């Protein structure tokens, strides 16, 4: 018989508060057109993006995260000292170590929480939610801060006609805490490593260090391959998440997919046959693709504008480089 005591965590977990931060600089498509041969009409028709936010030197990964975290903690009605875990999903923090999560934890006054970074691209927020839920249910933390944050303007090739208009900067955060009833469904997540080259960094850091190419590393992708995978395969994953939560599309109030591309979002809505009453996040139009930050930023905007309300049932799904994905059904805070 095991001598290990059983964990004393909460029976369930829930999202208790949400916060977001968008850099002050708004970059319309006209700015992007200064470095690529394209048009505003082409960018909008291909992606649905009209503008995005780019960070200043002062709006670092850490600084944006602190701003978003403060709002999420206040929204949750707790104090920073109660945070027992800080999980940060990002691919654009350029220090390999230490994790930026430790810096953020210190700056928000969280005491001595478990703090670590994860790299799961545009699915990173969903991965973080799942890890946070596990921490709360097992009892290693009462409240966990999950942050998705990116400065993708640092990794954008402004001369690449296929990607220059896609990416934006920002941070979104949620507080996950204990719940007496189910408020986060099982996560359907996974990876397809055979497709890892479809979204990648142009030059690995070791090659950049050794050869010093003229261009700084950037993110590149095979647009059509990613589009087909996202539309057809991710709709299946989203459906599996609904089934895992024991609901159907008719039970949904809100759909918050990763804000990669408006065409992908609209195609997923059609494939999933979502009813007209379901509110769909389309934050990509003015925020661009912010990778791990896109879902919490879209969630925060829907709640702030009244398009979604506390207690709504929402399906969230992230997908991207890896290729990785994570989908779950949650009750909105």
Is 289 one of the annotated active-site residues of the chain? yes
Tokens of 230: 């996202």
- Which one is catalytic: 29, 53, 93, 258? 258
Cα distance between residue 165 and residue 159, in whole Å:
10
What are the start-end ranges of the E strands in the chain? 12-21, 25-28, 51-54, 83-89, 114-118, 143-151, 169-179, 188-191, 199-201, 219-221, 254-257, 279-280, 313-320, 324-331
Which residue is catalytic, options 29, 53, 122, 261?
122
Q: Which DSSP helix (H) or strand (E) runs through 209?
A: helix 205-211
Structural contact between residues 159 and 153, judged by C-beta atoms closer than 8 angstroms: no
Half-sphere exposure of 1 (CA within 13 A, CB side): 3
Task: Print burial letters for 186-224: b (CB count within 10 Å at least 16), e (below 16).
Answer: bbbbeeeeebeebbbebbeeeeeeeeeeeeebbbbbebe
Q: Which two tokens stand for residue 131?
A: 């890890």
Query: What residues act catalytically?
Result: 122, 258, 289
């Amino acid at each position: 018989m095991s001598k290990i005591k059983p964990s004393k965590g909460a029976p369930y977990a829930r999202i208790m508060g949400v916060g977001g931060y968008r850099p002050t600089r708004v970059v319309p498509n006209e700015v992007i057109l200064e470095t690529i041969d394209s048009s505003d009409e082409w960018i909008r028709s291909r992606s649905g993006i009209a503008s995005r936010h780019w960070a200043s030197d002062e709006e670092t990964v850490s600084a944006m995260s602190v701003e978003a975290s403060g709002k999420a903690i206040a929204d949750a009605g707790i104090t920073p000292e109660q945070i027992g875990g800080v999980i940060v999903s990002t691919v654009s923090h350029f220090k390999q170590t230490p994790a930026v999560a430790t810096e953020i934890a210190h700056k928000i006054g969280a005491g001595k929480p478990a703090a670590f970074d994860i790299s799961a691209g545009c699915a990173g927020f969903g991965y973080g939610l799942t890890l946070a839920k596990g921490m709360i249910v097992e009892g290693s933390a009462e409240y966990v801060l999950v942050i998705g944050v990116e400065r993708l303007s640092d990794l954008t090739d402004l001369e690449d006609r296929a990607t220059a208009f896609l990416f934006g900067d920002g941070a979104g955060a949620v507080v996950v805490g204990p719940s007496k009833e189910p408020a986060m469904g099982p996560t359907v997540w996974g990876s397809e490593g055979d497709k890892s080259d479809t979204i990648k960094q142009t030059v690995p850091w070791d090659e950049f260090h050794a050869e010093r190419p003229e261009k700084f590393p950037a993110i590149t992708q095979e647009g059509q391959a990613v589009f087909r995978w996202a539309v057809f395969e991710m709709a299946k994953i989203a459906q599996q998440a609904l089934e895992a939560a024991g609901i159907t599309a008719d039970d949904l109030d809100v759909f918050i997919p990763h804000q990669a591309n408006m065409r992908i979002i609209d195609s997923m809505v059609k494939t999933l046959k979502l009813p007209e009453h379901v509110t769909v996040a389309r934050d990509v139009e003015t925020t661009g693709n912010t990778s791990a930050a896109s879902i919490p930023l879209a969630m925060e905007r829907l709640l702030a504008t009244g398009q979604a309300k506390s207690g709504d049932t929402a399906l969230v799904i992230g997908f991207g480089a890896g290729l990785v994905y994570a989908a779950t059904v949650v009750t909105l805070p």
